[in-house]
Amino acid sequence: QQQVKQSPQSLIVQKGGISIINCAYENTAFDYFPWYQQFPGKGPALLIAIRPDVSEKKEGRFTISFNKSAKQFSLHIMDSQPGDSATYFCAASVSSGNTGKLIFGQGTTLQVKP
């Protein structure tokens, strides 16, 4: 019940295309859903995050869509660029008193072809 399932494992998109990564969870106590971006040799960096009281959040080319009833959320990268090539992780946590404990998905390796 603590798992977060992420798909696809890898994704290849042409420059200018839309990249879509999906995550699903079981624990209804989760109330904070961040996405992290990780480049080789670096630690993950927070990209965008959402709470379940909203269905969508957009920051620049990055959008999170959240479906509370389906217990699913997804990351959309619009106008994908080669510089977006990285590994993306979704995560979830119970925010109350558990700031440091994130449950991560398995990651999606995104390659954006020029």
Partner 1 sequence: KAGVTQTPRYLIKTRGQQVTLSCSPISGHRSVSWYQQTPGQGLQFLFEYFSETQRNKGNFPGRFSGRQFSNSRSEMNVSTLELGDSALYLCASSWNRALNEKLFFGSGTQLSVL
Q: With CB under 8 A as the contact rule, which of the stretches 17-25, 58-66, 77-85, 89-97 interacts with partner 1?
A: 89-97
- At closest approach, how far in Å is the CB of 61 from partner 1? 20
Neighbours of 31 (CB within 10 A): 14
The residue within the footprint of partner 1, chosen from 7, 27, 49, 81 (CB under 8 A), is 49
Number of residues that bind partner 1 (CB under 8 A): 25
Phi and psi based region of residue 59 (left: phi greater than 0; alpha: psi -120 to 50; beta: remaining)? beta
The residue within the footprint of partner 1, chosen from 24, 32, 52, 61 (CB under 8 A), is 32
Closest C-alpha to 48, from 83, 28, 29, 75: 75
Residue numbers at the binding site for partner 1 (CB under 8 A): 32, 36, 41-46, 49, 51, 89, 91, 95-107
